[in-house]
Amino acid sequence: MPLVRIEIIKGQSKEYKATLLQSVHDGLVNALSIPDDDRNQRLYELDECFYERSPGKTEKFTLIELTLFPGRSTEMKKDTIAEITRLLGERLQIAPPDVFIIINEPPLENWGMRGIQASEMGLQYKKGE
């Protein structure tokens, strides 16, 4: 149940944004084996004057925050970053230097779903080795 927050600079087409969301989701499906219908994504568009970025970053600069249940292996996280970056490059011509991904892993007791803590739900998900 990854939570995805994507931030981009305003001005991209509806098709671009749909492809962006699909590419990030496909990267999670491919690298983490999440179910295809497990979608919790938010796309935020900011005016360029409110989106400061390092020199050399283009108007396609894309910041992606992934919030995951804890416990996935370093290799799975590495594969997730590589796969999302690859798909964004192939589908939207976003260069790797314009992709910034951060993975957050709050403990299960910090997740609340259906009125209870996730730590009490006996959740099963692929953690890797």
Tens of each residue's pLDDT in the chain, 129 residues: 799 999 999 999 999 999 999 999 999 999 999 989 989 999 999 998 888 888 889 999 999 999 998 888 999 999 999 999 999 999 999 999 999 999 999 887 777 766 766 655 666 555 554
Q: How many domains does the chain have?
A: 1
Q: What is the CATH number of the domain that holds 55?
A: 3.30.429.10
What distance, in Å, lies between the first and last C-alpha atoms of the chain? Answer: 19
User: Residue type for 33, please?
Assistant: S
Q: Would you tell me how many other CB atoms lie within 10 Å of the CB of residue 67?
A: 17
Look at residue 128 and tell me if it is in a domain. Answer: no
Look at residue 116 and tell me if it is in a domain. Answer: yes
Alpha-carbon gap, residue 35 to 69, rounded angstroms: 14
For 14, the domain range is 3-120
